[in-house]
Chain A
């Protein structure tokens, strides 16, 4: 399996622009997570989908952030408009969320976003 795939790996954009991050989870995994990593706040969950349905979006910072999962093999995280404080590494992770797998989450390589 190719693992969790994220694109782009790096994104540089200007303040006010729309940014779309993409994720393809591991085939067969029914849960998908978006995390953000910054020096100040560390790793924090933004949103979690189970069977394509958002379950917990309490970590989404504000209305500028939105996430979708139109099918089991694709998810997007959109920031519109982007601000410099959104600069971070954004990770996507997927999981089968089964007891047999001890709920392991498999992370993608991350997208480093820089907003100037």
Chain B
């Protein structure tokens, strides 16, 4: 079974600075997808960024980028120019397609952006 580990329960960063959230996973699969979801206090789960394992290029979405290291099974999220609205829980998730396309989530990292 796949597992996802987020080793940082809480992190904080000053507004406008850069922060990196860590995520590692365990799988024997070669083809899979990785996601970062954001959950603000409103509780809504919002997709931040996704990465296909077969793509070597790291995904980027505006201020959000990932460092995907397939051999190391690592998938970290970098948030540049942090904003107060980035304060939220961040969940790393793994999905194996062509079967049970369920998301396997990590425990989450609570990020606080300080003014």
> Contact residues of A with B, CB < 8 Å?
31, 33, 35, 42-45, 48, 55-56, 59, 89, 91, 93, 95, 97, 99, 102-107, 109-110, 112
B56 to chain A, nearest CB (A): 16
Q: Roughly how many angstroms separate A39 CA and B97 CA in the complex, as a whole number?
A: 27
Interface residues of B in 66-115 (CB under 8 A from A): 91, 95, 97, 100-108
Q: Would you give 14 A-B contacts (Cβ < 8 Å), ordered by A?
A: A31-B101, A33-B103, A35-B103, A42-B108, A43-B105, A45-B104, A56-B100, A91-B45, A97-B97, A97-B101, A102-B50, A104-B47, A107-B37, A107-B44
CB–CB B103/A42 < 8 A:
no
Say whether B15 faces chain A, with CB atoms less than 8 Å apart: no
Q: Report whether B105 and A48 are in contact in the complex, using a CB–CB cutoff of 8 Å.
A: no
Q: How far is the CA of A44 from the CA of B91 in the complex (A)?
A: 12
Q: Are the C-beta atoms of B102 and A45 separated by less than 8 Å?
A: yes
Determine chain A's interface SS by DSSP, over half rule: strand
Q: B108 touching A104 by the CB < 8 A rule? A: no
CB-based contact B43/A109 at 8 Å? yes
Q: Which residues of B contact A (CB under 8 A)?
A: 33, 35, 37, 42-47, 50, 52, 91, 95, 97, 100-108
Judging by beta carbons under 8 Å apart, are A103 and B97 in contact? yes
Pick the contact of A110: B43, B47, B102, B105 (CB < 8 A).
Answer: B43
**B50 and A107 contact, CB distance less than 8 A:** no
Complex CA distance for A107 and B103, rounded to whole angstroms: 12
Q: Is the CB of A107 within 8 A of B45?
A: yes
Residues of A within 8 A of B43 (CB): 89, 109-110, 112
What is the distance, in angstroms, from A67's C-beta to the closest C-beta of chain B? 14
Task: Give B95 Cβ to nearest chain A Cβ, in Å.
Answer: 6
Partner of A103, one of B44, B46, B101, B107: B101
> Which B residues are in CB contact (< 8 Å) with A107?
37, 44-46
Cα–Cα distance between A16 and B27 once the two chains are bound (Å): 40
A-side contacts of B91, CB under 8 Å: 43
